[in-house]
């Protein structure tokens, strides 16, 4: 594997989950793969889980790791070609990327949607420049439109906890005070569809996701109806995708907060969220602290999803 952005990049998904469970059972078995290899993690945005879990996964594989926070301590980067660089950005991405490629064997990129230009976000302008100019394998650590390491970890977690072969999985919008990208719900829908679960997506009108990610999922605007009989409830906020409201907050309706009463509609369902989460906006204290909350196992599985991806990249390094 050279690039990791979408579920299809993993090939056979059942095989990938099997490999993940094997890695989880024996995470130091592949330490030879990363000997004298360096991972460079580039962060344009903040992170707790992605940074720690990906670094841990790389160390499990014997890699050296460098993390660069672009906006703290590095030169501010211009990303647009043709700009007269007389402002506050002394370095251009077009030099910075090949330079970064000189110092490493593999690159992970975190670069969120900027909500300045929908086409730039949905064409993954920053990630694509890393793929084009770094000369290295590149994987997404949450980019403008996807968060595949999170969704892979979520899939592993569901496989570990599912009470039936084909569970009902509900992706529900929940309120948040700030505009958030669609990357997590996009990827979650993509991966749940690929796993062939019974996927229902519920949100207020105006929050429709990109149909390329929604796929064959059922869209239900009544959250209570959607939650009925669910085995897993995946809560997440996202901003509007559809024009002319791209990137806007259209609602902060706290009737969509996941509470004990909402979870009572499910089939003894598990609560999931990628974290960080705003308590009592997205989910009540009671639900996230309940024995049916999977937020910590999901976060723990981030180490495993990252390790499978890095392992496959290392195995294919020329």
Instruction: Using the rule CB under 6 A, give the single segment among 45-53, 55-63, 251-259, 277-285 that binds ligand CP.
Output: 45-53
Contact 130, 3 (CB under 8 A): no
Contact 182, 238 (CB under 8 A): yes
Interaction of residue 296 with ligand CP, rule CB under 6 A: no
Helix, strand and coil in the chain, % to nearest 5: 40, 15, 45
Instruction: Using the rule CB under 6 A, give the single segment among 11-19, 157-165, 190-198, 270-278 that binds ligand CP.
Output: 270-278
Determine the size of the site formed for ligand CP (CB under 6 A): 9
Interaction of residue 50 with ligand CP, rule CB under 6 A: yes
Interaction of residue 273 with ligand CP, rule CB under 6 A: no
The DSSP bridge partners found for residue 271 are 233, 293
Interaction of residue 131 with ligand CP, rule CB under 6 A: no
Q: Residue ranges of the alpha helices (H) in the chain?
A: 13-25, 49-60, 93-102, 118-122, 125-133, 148-161, 183-194, 211-214, 223-227, 260-263, 285-288, 295-315
Q: At its nearest, how many Å lie between ligand CP and the CB of residue 276?
A: 6
Q: At its nearest, how many Å lie between ligand CP and the CB of residue 154?
A: 10
Q: Which of 10, 209, 227, 274 binds ligand CP (CB under 6 A)?
A: 274
Q: At its nearest, how many Å lie between ligand CP and the CB of residue 267?
A: 26
Q: At its nearest, how many Å lie between ligand CP and the CB of residue 234?
A: 12
Structure tokens given for 79: 């990303």
Interaction of residue 142 with ligand CP, rule CB under 6 A: yes
Q: Which of 49, 231, 236, 312 binds ligand CP (CB under 6 A)?
A: 49
Contact 28, 58 (CB under 8 A): no
Binding mask 147-186 for ligand CP (x = CB under 6 A): ---x------------------------------------
Residue located via tokens 């290392």: 314
Tell me whether residue 52 or residue 242 sits nearer to ligand CP (CB atom). Answer: 52
Q: How many residues does the chain have?
A: 318
Instruction: Using the rule CB under 6 A, give the single segment among 42-50, 78-86, 132-140, 247-255 that binds ligand CP.
Output: 42-50
Interaction of residue 47 with ligand CP, rule CB under 6 A: yes
d(CA 40, CA 298) in angstroms, rounded, equals 24
244 phi/psi in degrees, rounded to 5: -95, 20
Contacts of 32 (CB under 8 A, 6+ apart): 62
Q: Which of 21, 110, 9, 53 is nearest to 306 (CA)?
A: 53
Q: Which position's Cβ is nearest ligand CP?
A: 50
Residue 68: CB atoms within 10 A of its CB come to: 15
Q: Which of 59, 68, 265, 275 binds ligand CP (CB under 6 A)?
A: 275
Q: At its nearest, how many Å lie between ligand CP and the CB of residue 156?
A: 14
Q: Which of 41, 61, 182 is nearest to 124 (CA)?
A: 182
Q: Which of 21, 48, 66, 99 binds ligand CP (CB under 6 A)?
A: 48
Q: Which of 69, 135, 61, 67 is nearest to 97 (CA)?
A: 135
Interaction of residue 111 with ligand CP, rule CB under 6 A: no
Under the rule (CB under 6 A), what is the footprint of ligand CP? Answer: 47-50, 142, 150, 274-276
């Amino acid at each position: 594997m050279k690039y990791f952005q979408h579920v299809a990049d993993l090939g056979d998904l059942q095989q990938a989950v099997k490999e993940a469970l094997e890695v989880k059972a024996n995470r130091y078995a592949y330490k030879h793969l990363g000997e004298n290899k360096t991972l460079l993690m580039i962060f344009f945005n903040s992170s707790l889980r992605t940074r720690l879990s990906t670094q841990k996964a790389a160390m499990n594989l014997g890699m050296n790791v460098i993390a660069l926070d672009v906006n703290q301590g590095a030169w501010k980067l211009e990303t647009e070609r043709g700009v007269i660089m007389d402002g506050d950005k002394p370095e251009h991405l077009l030099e910075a990327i090949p330079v970064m490629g000189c110092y490493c064997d593999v690159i992970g990129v975190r670069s969120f949607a900027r909500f300045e230009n929908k086409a730039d976000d949905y064409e993954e302008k920053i990630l694509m420049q890393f793929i084009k100019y770094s000369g290295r394998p590149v994987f997404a650590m949450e980019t403008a439109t996807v968060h595949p390491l999170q969704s892979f970890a979520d899939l592993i977690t569901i496989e570990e906890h599912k009470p039936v072969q084909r569970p009902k999985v509900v992706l529900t919008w929940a309120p948040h005070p700030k505009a958030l990208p669609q990357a997590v719900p996009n990827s979650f829908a993509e991966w749940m569809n690929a796993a062939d679960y019974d996927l229902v997506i519920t949100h207020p009108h105006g929050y429709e996701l990109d149909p390329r990610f929604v796929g064959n999922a059922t869209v239900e605007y009544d959250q209570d109806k959607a939650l009925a009989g669910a085995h897993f409830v995946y809560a997440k906020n996202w901003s509007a995708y559809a024009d002319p409201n791209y990137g806007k907050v259209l609602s902060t309706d706290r009737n969509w907060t996941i509470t004990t009463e909402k979870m009572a509609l499910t089939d003894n369902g598990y609560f999931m969220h990628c974290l960080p989460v705003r308590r009592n906006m997205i989910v009540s204290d009671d639900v996230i602290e309940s024995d049916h909350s999977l937020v910590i196992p999901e976060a723990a599985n981030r180490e495993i999803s990252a390790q499978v991806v890095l392992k496959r990249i290392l195995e294919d390094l020329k």
